[in-house]
Structure 1
Amino acid sequence: MRVFSSVVLPAFVTIALSVTASASQAAPVKVFILCGQSNMEGKGAIKHLEQLLADPATAKAYQHLRNDNGWIERNDVFIKYNDDRGQGKLGLGYGTPTNRFGPELQFGHVVGNAFDEKVLIIKCAWGGRALAVRFRPPSSGKGDYTQRNRETKELEPLPEETYGEAYRDTIRIVKETLAGIDQVVPDYDPQEGYELSGFVFFQGFNDIIDQKKMDEYGQNLENLVRDVRKDLDAPKLPFVIGELGQQGVEPEKRYAQKHFAFRKMQEDVSKLPEFTGNVAFVKTSPYIVKDGESFDGGYHYYGRADTFFNIGNAFGEAMVKMVKSN
């Protein structure tokens, strides 16, 4: 962060300083953090993506992902995935497992096309993590959940270090990546620097299946936004909340009430006065294809490439709108 004093300077000196500052800040790398559980890890089947590209009826939407030489990697968008799941130019190969992809793919294309600056995506995602437990933000304090002892079969309190484990890992990975950003972004210029430009949180399944965790989800999500901004020293960091839309626009009747209530909690956080214009709730349920081929059983949005592509696109468009408006 650059700090300028309030001392009055001669006009020509002020102009010179202004030009110098503008030049040095002309093209900072835009950094976006994508965080969540298994759907953010990415379950879109590359096999399905190949089918979509082979079908003339659908190929046009995906043609920017491949050329005659194979799958395209962008020269202006880079990615770092967790500690050990790879880094490099944005392309395929950053899902879990590696024959899958997640929202990062089309998100990266959207933000890469929208900004002249280079882009770095830091992806922090682990399956099976609840916001009430492992993603628990510091402001929520310690939870009071239990686990069953494998030997005695008795319930016992979760170890204290379990709470916030994924949250702390996310903050750590972001800070470590930025400290060594020249190892991820080729030809990185420290004079131009980087700027934290946005955070996407796509998570919720492990909370909705436990009523106690669901009941505190709204407050935990509020705290997550505030704590991320505080711990990354980015007070107005644009924040996208991805809807838990697994059941589609019309969930099964036996689950509908719970899913609609959960989605409302997510959306209500984005409507808080302090978050107006800098937190966006993005629906993912419209991209569910229930009557098509499934590539992941009934889980993870059926593992469909078109669904994960469209979710990434929606996240990207919402993020670009916030960044440009701010």
Structure 2
Amino acid sequence: MLALSRFLVLALVFTLGLVLVSSSWAGPVKVFILCGQSNMEGKGSVKHLEQLLADPATAKPYHHLRNEKGWVERDDVFIKYNDDRGQGKLGLGYGTPSDRFGPELEFGHVVGNAFNEKVLIIKCAWGGRALAVRFRPPSSGKGDYTQRDRETKELVPLPDETYGEAYRDTIRIVKDSLVNIDKLVPDYNPNEGYELSGFVFFQGFNDIIDAKKMEEYGPNLANLVRDVRRDLNAPHLPFVIGELGQQGVEPEKRYAEKHFKFRQIQADVAQLPEFNGTVRFVKTSPFVVSNEDSFDGGYHYYGRADTFFQIGHAFGAAMVEMAQSSKKKSPSMR
């Protein structure tokens, strides 16, 4: 009889444990979209990350990324990268090239720790894409840019289909992912569904290097926020604008005016009255380390793992704040 009682107690404890585990992930899947060009693709060096972990003086912030079995893959955060760059549990392996990582890594840990629900990150990123051209939102209309004809070497108008190509691909990938979310999130419960919880846009290099593209960046960025919300049927979707901070807090003197102007354009869009409380400008320049080892020449935040880690953390922290406050509005749930 005593043995039976002990068995019943153990069975009850085990059952309660299952209930607690399952309930900890109850509710709609939180879906976050990370979008941009090469910095969002991810250029953080895994080699540098290994160096940071090997040094007791720098290892502490990164301990959660690796355990005795190797690099950690989360059981509650999942990712899909473009059409063909991979999908699965969040961990390393979702940068470009494959020995790199982007903001998605620490972003996923921040939001995964903040919410009880499972998380899906949909990452849409391609290098060399300007907001004025390939990311151009529909509300901005067709642009009037040119390219050099390969045969005649003369300047000719860009083909109409070039405008908005990356924007359309982003919307398509997001919608396709949501239609097939049961293939991306294990044990997906259609009765609980999903919730579009945030969009991060980290882009700008191909616009800052062209005066004309830079001049129209503000209106294009504001239209991007509006159009993404409209096309995803998420009118209050929290939106993070990642600062183009490649040059750091104090850019080179010859580039400083241009960089400060561009950053102000990005910040001003976040301050538009219509975006009050739902769009956040997040600085990345404070995380630039320019006087130590570089892992990508002078490009992409020097390819430093510590920089991309901190950028991802900052994006995640801002998104958590907005996503939590947006519950008072009308979240987009399916």
Per the alignment, residue 101 of structure 2 pairs with 101
Per the alignment, residue 158 of structure 1 pairs with 158
The 5 Å alignment of 1:166-245 reads 166-245=166-245
Counterpart-to-counterpart distance in 1, 2:240 and 2:162: 25
Q: Which runs of 5+ in 1 are unaligned?
A: 1-22
- Say whether 1:274 aligns with 2:274: yes
Deviation at 1:97, TM superposition (A): 0.2
Per the alignment, residue 310 of structure 1 pairs with 310
Contact preservation (8 Å) 2:278, 2:322: yes
Counterpart-to-counterpart distance in 2, 1:71 and 1:209: 37
Q: Deviations over 1:202-241 (max 9, x none)?
A: 0000000000000000000000000000000000000000
Counterpart-to-counterpart distance in 2, 1:290 and 1:168: 35
Contact preservation (8 Å) 2:82, 2:124: yes
Per the alignment, residue 19 of structure 2 pairs with none
Name the SS of the counterpart of 2:189 in structure 1: coil
| TM-score, with length taken from structure 2 | 0.90
Counterpart-to-counterpart distance in 1, 2:233 and 2:110: 26
Deviation at 1:119, TM superposition (A): 0.1
Name the SS of the counterpart of 1:317 in structure 2: helix
Counterpart-to-counterpart distance in 1, 2:269 and 2:171: 21
The code of the aligned residue for 2:316 comes to G
The code of the aligned residue for 1:222 comes to A
The code of the aligned residue for 1:53 comes to L
The code of the aligned residue for 2:228 comes to V
Counterpart-to-counterpart distance in 1, 2:104 and 2:323: 17
Name the SS of the counterpart of 1:116 in structure 2: coil
- Say whether 1:35 aligns with 2:62: no
Counterpart-to-counterpart distance in 2, 1:323 and 1:170: 21
Counterpart-to-counterpart distance in 1, 2:154 and 2:324: 53
Q: Which runs of 5+ in 2 are unaligned?
A: 1-22, 327-334
Per the alignment, residue 247 of structure 2 pairs with 247
Per the alignment, residue 52 of structure 2 pairs with 52
Contact preservation (8 Å) 2:26, 2:116: no
The code of the aligned residue for 2:98 comes to T
**Which stretches of structure 1, 4 residues or more, deviate above 2 A after TM superposition?**
none
User: What is the identity percentage for the equivalent residue pairs of Structure 1 and Structure 2?
Assistant: 82
Name the SS of the counterpart of 2:187 in structure 1: coil
Counterpart-to-counterpart distance in 2, 1:250 and 1:82: 34
Name the SS of the counterpart of 1:35 in structure 2: strand
Counterpart-to-counterpart distance in 1, 2:204 and 2:210: 10
Q: Deviations over 1:145-187 (max 9, x none)?
A: 0000011000000000000000000000000000000111000
Per the alignment, residue 321 of structure 1 pairs with 321
The code of the aligned residue for 1:227 comes to D
Per the alignment, residue 15 of structure 1 pairs with none
The 5 Å alignment of 1:2-81 reads 27-81=27-81
Name the SS of the counterpart of 1:161 in structure 2: helix
Counterpart-to-counterpart distance in 2, 1:186 and 1:321: 27
Equivalences, count = 303
The code of the aligned residue for 2:81 comes to Y
Per the alignment, residue 258 of structure 1 pairs with 258
| TM-score, with length taken from structure 1 | 0.92
Counterpart-to-counterpart distance in 1, 2:56 and 2:275: 43
Q: Deviations over 1:284-325 (max 9, x none)?
A: 000000111000000000000000000000000000000112
Counterpart-to-counterpart distance in 2, 1:176 and 1:143: 27
Name the SS of the counterpart of 2:96 in structure 1: coil
Deviation at 1:26, TM superposition (A): 5.5
Per the alignment, residue 141 of structure 2 pairs with 141
Name the SS of the counterpart of 1:293 in structure 2: coil
Name the SS of the counterpart of 2:267 in structure 1: helix
Q: Go from structure 1 to structure 2 and tell me whether the alpha carbon gap of 1:183 and 1:281 turns closer, same or farther (over 3 Å shift).
A: same
Counterpart-to-counterpart distance in 1, 2:276 and 2:307: 28
Q: Deviations over 1:38-79 (max 9, x none)?
A: 000000000000000000011010000000110000000000
Q: Deviations over 1:79-121 (max 9, x none)?
A: 0000000000000000000000000000000000000000000
Counterpart-to-counterpart distance in 2, 1:146 and 1:246: 27
Q: Deviations over 1:16-35 (max 9, x none)?
A: xxxxxxx9x96000000000
Counterpart-to-counterpart distance in 2, 1:246 and 1:65: 25
Counterpart-to-counterpart distance in 2, 1:295 and 1:312: 18
Counterpart-to-counterpart distance in 1, 2:149 and 2:71: 47
